[in-house]
Amino acid sequence: MNDMPGGLAPARLARYRAFEVLAHRVVEGFMTGLHRSPFKGFAIEFDEHRPYSPGDDPKHVDWRLVGKLDRLYVKQYEEDTSLRACLALDCTGSMGYASGSVAKIEYGRYVCGVFAYLLNRQQDAVGFMSFDSGEQTFLPPAATRKHLMAILDRLKQCQAPVGTQGRAALGDVFEQLSHRLTRRALIVIVSDLFDDAEAIIRGLTHFSQRKHEVILFQILDRQEATFSFAGVTQFQSRETGEASLADPVRLRRSYIEQFEAHNSHLREACHRLHIDFVQMFTDEPFQRQMAQYLSARLRR
């Protein structure tokens, strides 16, 4: 990944300033920003009239129309809201795997960094959560420059070391995150999604039910997709430390079948839940992949 030198310095992230992160689904918020609120409110920009119904604040009644039409109409306004977003980075041991020079966690940190920068630049509130099998860290959403720097600092500290503490239950993590975010938000999840697919889907369903918009980045190493090892190999789990001796040549076909089935299952579920499912490989240029996704999202 030659296009990632410099790490998460804001100056490096500034190359993405031409992009904007727009929430396509309704996002709560009342601050001025790029995102159109789904709520018909009473702020600056008039949207439409609607018949008065009991309980409406009388101060929103358009008295001019009353005079003209002798009926009670209430004025409704559409207001740009500020986006609340949360970045979730998987720091489990599997994210530390690198067959080449770049580990998946490094790639994921950069994805989070770019989103944090863009959202902050749009004056949107952005929060951050990292999780592994044992602990979670959470920074609530905020839109200040200082908060961006805090997220970037936290990103820099994210590691995915080999450990024996076990695998993180992604479904549970997602459920907990959805409960933490009391208001609707844009959630960017960066993970390799190496967990039980049903559990992951169950966790993602919680986001949908609570009307969060989710972008799911699956970061993969090419070797994990192709399984092109040769010779008898002892595979050691980066999360549990368990080891299995196998001849990868003999195992490849079965491995790839399992891998493809897992991913396609996730992809279908994301499609059903209106979640953006983005697959990125660490051997491909980050900048190009990221730019492609953001451009495509802008066009939608």
Is residue 258 a contact point for other proteins (CB under 8 A)?
yes
Nearer to other proteins among residue 84 and residue 104 (C-beta): 104
Is residue 242 a contact point for other proteins (CB under 8 A)?
yes
| Residue in this structure with the two tokens 């500034």, named with its chain if needed | 14
The answer to whether residues 117 and 16 touch, using CB atoms and an 8 Å cutoff, is: yes
Q: How far is CA 187 from the centre of its chain?
A: 4
Structure token pair of residue 114: 């770019």
The answer to whether residues 189 and 115 touch, using CB atoms and an 8 Å cutoff, is: no
User: How would you list the strands of the sheet with 45-51, edge to edge?
Assistant: 35-41, 73-81, 45-51
Residue from 39, 42, 52, 255 touching other proteins (CB under 8 A): that is 255
State the maximum Cα–Cα separation within the chain, in Å, rounded to a whole number.
87
The answer to whether residues 193 and 170 touch, using CB atoms and an 8 Å cutoff, is: yes
Measured from the CB of residue 88, what is the shortest distance to other proteins in angstroms? 18
Measured from the CB of residue 286, what is the shortest distance to other proteins in angstroms? 18
Going by their DSSP bridges, the two strands 125-131 and 136-142 should be labelled as antiparallel
Query: Measured between alpha carbons, how far is 219 from 284 in angstroms, rounded to an integer?
Result: 11
Given the rule CB under 8 A, which of 22-30, 66-74, 257-265, 269-277 is the region that contacts other proteins?
257-265
Query: Measured between alpha carbons, how far is 268 from 46 in angstroms, rounded to an integer?
Result: 40
> How many residues belong to the site for other proteins (CB under 8 A)?
40
Nearer to other proteins among residue 15 and residue 262 (C-beta): 262
Going by their DSSP bridges, the two strands 73-81 and 45-51 should be labelled as antiparallel
Nearer to other proteins among residue 53 and residue 234 (C-beta): 234
Measured from the CB of residue 103, what is the shortest distance to other proteins in angstroms? 9
Is residue 95 a contact point for other proteins (CB under 8 A)?
yes
Mask 145-184, x = binds other proteins (CB under 8 A)? -----------------x----x-----------------
Nearer to other proteins among residue 11 and residue 245 (C-beta): 245
Residue from 135, 153, 247, 268 touching other proteins (CB under 8 A): that is 247
Candidates 222, 211, 224, 216; CA nearest to 278 is 216
Nearer to other proteins among residue 189 and residue 294 (C-beta): 189
Mask 212-241, x = binds other proteins (CB under 8 A)? ---------x--x--x-x-xxxxxxxxxx-
| Binding-site ranges for other proteins (CB under 8 A) | 93-97, 104, 162, 167, 192, 194-195, 221, 224, 227, 229, 231-240, 242-247, 249-251, 253-255, 258-259, 262
